[in-house]
Structure 1
Amino acid sequence: MARRKHYNFYDDDFKATAVALTEIPGVLDKDVTEALDIHEVMLYLWRMKMRRGQLMPKKKDIQIDPELKAELKRLRKLEREHNLLQEEHTLLKKAIQHSLQQKGKSSSSSN
């Protein structure tokens, strides 16, 4: 397997912003990593460095773009709704199959 020749390097402000995004209620780490196109382990390491004081952003007060914050919340809500619809769809398919099997049994036994 070939090694990567290009690695992304992120400044402390980017890392601190990524960590701050995970602190928004209702936003999952997975949502942040997907939105920022980073690996979950990187986010975990950055959070650990922030706690230890090893990550020092230039800006002390990290401002999160309200649109990005709203978009992450909207994404999470849509994912929950999508999962619910998938479960409902699966249950309906099972109910239809069961109904068809019952119909097949009752029509074959009446002959």
Structure 2
Amino acid sequence: MPAYAVAHLHNVDINAGIVEYLRRIDGTLAPFGGRFLVHGGQQRAVEGPADGTVIVLEFPDYAAAQEWYASPEYQAILPLRTDNSVGVAVIAEHCGDDHVATDILPPEAVRG
């Protein structure tokens, strides 16, 4: 089941460090089956204060996403991003194709 690395970045300083990060990140993804799903393109916040950019990477599974993030290759370039932007990054597993919103509730809440 796929997993995703999702980042919401803002105040990105497009400088030599970010350029180097962007030049090198694809090479860190390939060994773990990672690929960009959302990176650039049109984005519009429809709720809340959300200036910046959302990035979504897909991996074959949760373990691959975790291994990519912890890999020496990615950790070597991570400061190039974190030193030049502000944001939040999350790794999350896919909920399954048959998921419905109430699946996250305890049984007693669904019955009520």
**TM-score, structure 1 normalization:** 0.25
| Structure with the higher fraction of residues in helix conformation | 1
| Structure with the higher fraction of residues in strand conformation | 2
Q: Which has the higher contact order (CA 8 A, sep 6+)?
A: 2
**TM-score, structure 2 normalization:** 0.24
Greater Rg over alpha carbons, structure: 1
